[in-house]
Amino acid sequence: MSLLESPSFEAISSAIKSTSHPDGSYVLALTSLGNYYVSSASAPSNSIHLFDKSSLKCAQTLKGHQNATTTLRAVRSIGGSDRHTLLSAGKDGCVIAWDERSGAPATQMTTSGRSSSVLSCDASHDGLTVAAGTDLHKEDAFILYWDPRKPGVPLRVHGSTHSDDITAVHFVNNSPSPISRQILLSASTDGLVSTSNSAEDDEDEAVLNVGSWGCSISQAGWIRGSSVNRVWAASDMETFSCWSNELDMLQNCDIRHPSVHSHGRTWVTDYMITCHNTKRSDSNLGVFVGSNEGDVALLSSSNVADSSAPWTINSVWAKGHAGVVRSVFWDENHEILVTGGEDSKISAWRCPIPGQFSGFDKSARDESAMDMDSAILKRERDDEMDISESEPEGKKVKRLS
């Protein structure tokens, strides 16, 4: 597999701002909510921290879960509300929708007597359904669905879709069809990716498609397309895969194989961090990878469904972390990349949209975008930002954990 250097390639070796996580733990998840970047960390930390975008100072701390926080998601709506909301899941068996204004849970959904940890969660586009995936408890791993307006008891529980920890659940949120928006993607350490109709009570009828990878899946998500969505997945063995919307495998590769050694530049991937659907194009998926030295690179493929298509390295962010980078969040509105690592550091970097991502004219920039030469982050002026569909889940680096 070849790795080409993008004509607009840039190596960035100085972060705009950096801070240390208050709990001194691994930074496992990052997302964005209004004027804040939001993070959760590894045990023993249970708290969720909100960092001011302009200063990167910790502005607020949410109590979090009674046991470790496993997932952070920023969603468009919960229970029909018209404001973006922070969702979190935890090993205490709860999914919480937070009111960051009061610092308290607005809605709390529980597994209703099941002693399961919740590993993944998401909300439908209209906010009227929340889904969560649990770990394996005894012989069962569950997908649970709630109506957040009636959070006391799950609407339905599906217990046979997966046979091991459910590491990812994601709704289709970009479809114009209300029926398609009910489709839930799930992935598990049992090696399966599945799609289900979240509105169907009968689990045998709910499962639409199943794909078997044969390896433990740590992350998965949708790849937005102009006509049809596809699916990406990542394994604990640093392999990357692409699937059709019917979950036929289209590509399966070791993400560590594409490397570059030219013009005095060397990049070798040690692990995959996560993927990101860029808002600038319906066809490009950004794949963030890292090195054991703490550097981060953005890779893309001209066609992730084609195993023969070359990969492109678009940017490298270097010398920001000491060791493994566990999480990234790409704030396209402000051309900022936020990274969090095992060194407890959170860093904000300049991140211009690479020319490799088709359809973007770098001279025609958003009014809200950060000035390329600015030394500070612009504060977000309102809450009308789009929420990325590919928020990072808690990264598992098997050989280093």
* pLDDT tens-place string over residues 235-246: 999 999 999 999
pLDDT 10s digits, 72-116: 999 999 998 888 999 999 999 999 999 988 999 999 999 877 778
User: What single letter denotes the amino acid at residue 319?
Assistant: K
* pLDDT confidence of residue 1: 67
**10-residue averages of pLDDT along the chain (401 residues):** 87 95 93 96 90 96 90 92 92 93 92 84 95 94 96 94 98 79 96 97 95 97 86 96 96 91 85 90 84 96 90 94 97 95 97 66 34 32 40 39 30
Options 3.30.70.890, 3.10.20.30, 2.130.10.10, 3.30.230.10; CATH for 3-350 is 2.130.10.10
